[in-house]
């Protein structure tokens, strides 16, 4: 069971000011935050900031007002928004540099805002708590650091609100080209295909599928068609964000370009996020574990391994992938969704 805390205990201030007490969950029914203790090393090593990877002790439960009254000022915030299967965790690992930036990989608190929205929470209620929650997530370990948050792509429907709340924030819109995306899902099998359907269900709830499908139409789609519809809906959203916010606020990057030119991509991303990392620092990042080991398994990884995985998927599922690619391109043309986004991070 969660450990409850009296709001007036003397150590509330120390807890609120200590960024190791991660604002992990929000219970809107009782207006309480669930805090778990996750130090910087644990955050860096965990694939995602979820119970599955953190295996935390029972949370400390505090009122939102008590936490906000004592919390230290947040660091500058920037975001890595993504479509999944696109090396977003790699980038979050790469940018975690003590004294420069700290990164948060898919904090569950933001997922709770989506769940609250689906349960009928009002826009005003959710906006207030999410704004405050972002501030609590951005408490820095070291003065002068930036905080880079990589939300789950389930949170993409809230991107406009997050960018409006943090007018100084920069965002990256990271995506995998469709063939790479479909290859990853096909290669990873049943659970990945199931994930694609779960994503589409949430996008439908968010009203984020602008392609004229009837409810019964979705039942006729194959797994990879479902994945492609979800991918294309995210691409439509990203294109709209690029147009509305402009390249000073958000830039795009596809994972193939990232892996083909990691040095150029990292140089431009560091410039976009206004981080103080010099050429030697970039070289250290490229030689470090983010670019040389798989973020989820710890196995050796790199551009060649990613290409090999894609080739294996094409060998096993090439006919299906090719058919879905053609179908999606026709859908994109009909609804004027670009397959390649503007305002690319690199040339």
Virtual CA dihedral for 230, 224, 302, 79, nearest 10 degrees? Answer: 10
**What are the helix (H) ranges across 166-222?**
178-188, 190-205, 215-219
Rounded CA-CA distance 157/111 in Å is 11
List % helix, strand, coil for the chain (3-state, nearest 5).
Answer: 55, 15, 30
Pick the closest to residue 129 from 25, 2, 5 (CA basis).
25
Averaged pLDDT score across all residues of the chain: 94
Q: What integer pLDDT is reported at residue 298 of this predicted model? A: 78
- Residue-wise pLDDT for 14-28, tens only, equals 999 999 999 999 999
Q: What integer pLDDT is reported at residue 302 of this predicted model? A: 80
DSSP category for residue 58: S
Element (H, E) at 3: strand 3-4
Rounded CA-CA distance 247/6 in Å is 46
Pick the closest to residue 151 from 141, 143, 161 (CA basis).
161
Say whether pLDDT at 6 is over 80: no
As a whole number, mean pLDDT of residues 228-246 equals 97
Question: For residue 104, what are the β-bridge partners?
Answer: 149
Q: What integer pLDDT is reported at residue 294 of this predicted model? A: 85
Total-model pTM: 0.95
Give the rounded distance of the alpha carbon of 36 from its chain centre.
20
Q: What integer pLDDT is reported at residue 8 of this predicted model? A: 43
> Quick check: 173 and 250 in contact, CB under 8 A?
yes
Virtual CA dihedral for 155, 156, 157, 161, nearest 10 degrees? Answer: 90
Say whether pLDDT at 240 is over 90: yes
Q: What integer pLDDT is reported at residue 305 of this predicted model? A: 86
Say whether pLDDT at 90 is over 70: yes
Say whether pLDDT at 35 is over 80: yes
- Residue-wise pLDDT for 301-346, tens only, equals 888 888 899 999 999 999 999 999 999 999 999 999 999 999 999 8
Say whether pLDDT at 299 is over 90: no
- Residue-wise pLDDT for 128-147, tens only, equals 999 999 999 999 999 999 99
Rounded CA-CA distance 87/155 in Å is 17
């Amino acid at each position: 069971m969660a450990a409850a805390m009296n709001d007036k205990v003397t150590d509330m201030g120390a807890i609120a000011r200590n960024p190791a007490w991660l604002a992990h969950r929000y219970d809107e029914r009782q207006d309480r935050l669930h805090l778990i203790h996750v130090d910087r090393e644990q955050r860096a090593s965990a694939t995602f900031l979820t119970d599955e990877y953190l295996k935390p002790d029972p949370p400390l439960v505090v009122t939102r007002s008590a936490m906000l009254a004592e919390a230290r000022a947040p660091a500058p915030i920037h975001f890595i928004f993504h479509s999944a299967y696109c090396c977003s965790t790699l980038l979050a690992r790469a940018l975690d540099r003590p004294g420069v930036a700290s990164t948060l990989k898919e904090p569950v608190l933001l997922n709770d805002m989506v769940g609250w929205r689906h349960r009928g929470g009002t826009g005003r209620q959710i906006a207030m708590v999410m704004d405050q929650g972002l501030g609590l997530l951005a408490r820095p370990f070291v003065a002068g650091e930036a905080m880079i948050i990589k939300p789950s792509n389930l949170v993409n429907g809230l991107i406009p609100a997050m960018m409006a709340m943090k007018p100084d924030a920069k965002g990256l819109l990271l995506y995998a080209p469709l063939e790479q995306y479909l290859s990853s899902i096909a290669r990873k099998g049943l659970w990945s295909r199931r994930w694609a359907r779960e994503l589409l269900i949430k996008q439908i709830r968010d009203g984020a599928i602008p392609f004229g499908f009837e409810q019964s139409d979705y039942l006729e789609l194959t797994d990879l068609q479902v994945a492609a519809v979800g991918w294309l809906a995210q691409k439509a959203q990203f294109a709209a964000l690029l147009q509305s916010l402009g390249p000073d606020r958000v830039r795009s990057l596809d994972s193939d370009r990232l892996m083909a030119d990691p040095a150029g991509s990292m140089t431009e991303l560091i410039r976009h996020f206004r981080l103080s990392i010099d050429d030697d620092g970039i070289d250290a990042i490229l030689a470090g574990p983010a670019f040389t080991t798989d973020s989820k398994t710890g196995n050796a990884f790199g551009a060649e391994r990613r290409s090999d995985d894609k080739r294996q998927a094409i060998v096993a599922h090439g006919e299906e992938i090719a058919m879905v690619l053609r179908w999606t391109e026709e859908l994109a043309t009909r609804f004027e969704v670009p397959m390649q986004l503007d305002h690319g991070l690199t040339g």
